[in-house]
Homo-oligomer: A and B are copies of this chain.
Amino acid sequence: MQHNLENTIALLGRTPAALDALLRDLPEAWTRQNEGENTWSAFDVVGHLIHGERTDWMPRARIILQFGETRAFEPFDRWAQMRESEGKSFGQLLDEFARLRSVNLAGLRALNLRPEDFQRRGRHPALGVVTLSELLATWAAHDLTHLHQISRIMAHQYREAVGPWTSFLGVMQCAGHSS
């Protein structure tokens, strides 16, 4: 489908509650383990989502609306959460993600975007010219890429435990595709 603002908001609005229902008070054997060196745990992923709410999606939307292609977005720090999440509980991270997402969706609605705004162009530091529509679609798809990743990280913890069933479980064959 083409990008559709209401569909994007419907998904973005549900992710915090979905992650909360899945992860809050889940044993750390699931949530604090990763897939090996230089990979993330579910805890790290939620920290990354928080960092995105703070520095990526709405700040970039505002740069597009204010500066167009004349000002490139700030590069995104994919490891910022390792510092920012330190000492926090998973419950605190889930609360923080839900709060920031709610604030950002209120901010998005308050922009009162008109149909022609979605084709406004900005400049990504690596990808070059992108549109506001692509940015907003990516915000939603980014939630899904990390839900996909969290499922895979957690499944990995039972890689040996499932025995011969591993060949029937698609998630156990997933190579990660970078995230």
Residues of A participating in the B interface, judged by any CB pair closer than 8 Å: 1-4, 6-7, 10-11, 14-15, 17-23, 26-27, 29-30, 33, 124, 127-128, 130-131, 133-134, 137-138, 140-142, 144-145, 147-149, 151-152, 154-155, 157-158, 160-165, 167-174, 176-179
* Cross-chain contact B20 with A165 (CB below 8 angstroms): no
Q: Please give the distance in Å from A98's CB to the nearest CB on chain B.
A: 11
Given A17-B21, A179-B170, check contact A148 B152 (CB 8 Å): yes
Q: Is the interface of A mostly helix, strand, loop or mixed?
A: helix
Most buried by B among A30, A170, A173: A170
Given A14-B22, A141-B171, A173-B178, check contact A131 B163 (CB 8 Å): yes
Q: Which residue of B lies closest to A140 (CB)?
A: B158
Find chain B residues with CB under 8 A from A174 CB. 148, 174, 177
Counted per complex, copies of this chain come to: 2
Given A130-B163, A151-B144, A165-B130, check contact A26 B14 (CB 8 Å): yes
Q: Which residue of B lies closest to A155 (CB)?
A: B144
* Cross-chain contact B148 with A163 (CB below 8 angstroms): no
